[in-house]
Structures are given as C-alpha cells and as structure tokens.
Amino acid sequence: MRRWYSRPVLFVADVQRALQFYVDSMGFSKAWHEDDGAGKVCQVERAGCEIILCEELGRTDRARLFVSLDAQGFRDLKQRTTDRSIPHDQIWWGYDVVRIREPDGNELLFPLPGDLAAG
C-alpha cells in the first residue's frame, strides 16, 4: 500500500514571530528554514507533527489543524499552556477540544482523549 504524506501550510504575517510561538511556546523544533534562516518559509516539527509556516502577506486565510494526542501528551500540552501562559479555551467541535489560536489566527484543535473527556 502506498503511503500518503502531508504537511499543512499555515500562512503567517511574520515567520520569525510564528517561529517564536511554535518553538518557544509550543515546544516544536525548527526542521528547516529556507535561505539559511532568512527566508519566508520554514518547517517546525514535534513528535511527528510537521507544519510548514509561510510568510505571505497577501494571504489572509486562516486554517484549523486537528492534532490528536494520547492522554499523557494531552496532559503535557495542558501543563505547557499553564507554564507558558498560552491562551486557550475548551470548545465543542463534535466533542470536547482544547483550542489554541496562534498569533496569526490559525487554530490548533486538540481533542480530549477518551479517558479525560467530560462525557
């Protein structure tokens, strides 16, 4: 069976600001950055989750990225949001999810693992 591999592209107004959020706040690492770090496109990754960040001022689209975590990963995320004062809320999106809006308005949705969900 052939494997499909995808990486979402999130459009940002300032790639350096976006990197600061994803690396410093969310704990991602920078995998690559075009033009030896001076370019407008880069990739961040964490535990197999890869995101391409693209600074393109003409794009005002916003995206929603759905990231599933196991129970311990979710607890780690909740601890990080507390430790780093990352704004987040819990919403209903077919079931309970924690939503983090990054600086450019893109949303990261983390569903509550079954053993942590309210219902």
State the CATH architecture for 9-111.
Roll (3.10)
* Global pTM exceeds 0.95: no
* pLDDT value at 82 more than 90: yes
25, 86 Cβ separation under 8 angstroms: yes
pLDDT band at 3 (very low <50, low <70, confident <90, very high): confident
* pLDDT value at 4 more than 90: no
pLDDT for 60 equals: 86
Q: Provide the 8-state DSSP code for 45.
A: E
Give me the residue spans of the domains in the chain. 9-111
